[in-house]
Amino acid sequence: MAPVQTMDAVRWGWYLPRDGALHGPALDAHLMLNLWIALGLLVLAHIVLLVGLMVRRRRAQMPVVVLECLPLLVLTVLFAWLAGRSEHLWAAQRYVGAAPAAMQVEVTGEQFAWYFRYPGVDAAFGRTKLQLVSAAEGNPLGIDPGDAKGKDDVVTSQLVLPAGREVDLTLRALDVIHGFSAPEMRLKQNAVPGQTSHIHFTPTVPGEYAILCTQVCGMGHYRMQATLRVLPAAEFDAWLKGLEAAKLANEVQR
* H or E segment to which residue 78 belongs: helix 70-92
* Shortest Å distance, C-beta 109 to Cu ion: 5
Beta-bridge mates of residue 153: none
CB of 217 to Cu ion, least distance (A): 3
When the beta carbons of 27 and 113 are compared against Cu ion, the nearer one is 113
Helix (H, G, I), strand (E, B) or coil at 144: coil
CB of 193 to Cu ion, least distance (A): 12
Q: Measured from the CB atom, is 105 or 224 closer to Cu ion?
A: 224
Q: CB nearer to Cu ion: give 160 or 224.
A: 224
Query: Do the beta carbons of residue 106 and residue 170 sit within 8 Å?
Result: yes
In the complex, the smallest distance separating the C-beta of residue 209 from Cu ion, rounded to whole angstroms, is: 18
- The least distance separating Cu ion from the CB of residue 184, rounded to whole angstroms, comes to 19
* Chain contacts with Cu ion (rule: CB under 5 A): 178, 213, 217, 224
Nearer to Cu ion, 205 or 217 (CB): 217
CA atoms of 182 and 194, how far apart (whole Å): 22
Nearer to Cu ion by Cβ, of 160 and 217: the residue is 217
E strand or H helix that includes residue 208: strand 207-213
Question: Minimum distance from CB of 213 to Cu ion (Å)?
Answer: 3
If we measure between CA atoms, which residue out of 211, 92, 94 comes closest to residue 156?
A: 211
CA distance 150 to 250: 13
Among positive and negative, which fits the CA dihedral 135, 138, 140, 142? Answer: negative
Shortest Cβ distance from residue 207 to Cu ion (Å)?
Answer: 24
**Closer to Cu ion by Cβ: residue 165 or 178:** 178
Residues 6+ apart with CB under 8 A from 12: 18, 19
Residue 222 vs residues 19, 172, 182, 216: alpha-carbon distances, Å:
24, 19, 15, 8
Kindly give, in sequence order, each residue whose CB lies less than 8 Å from that of residue 35, ignoring residues fewer than 6 positions away.
none
- Closer CB to Cu ion, 98 or 173, in the complex: 173
Q: How far apart are the first and last CA of the chain?
A: 39
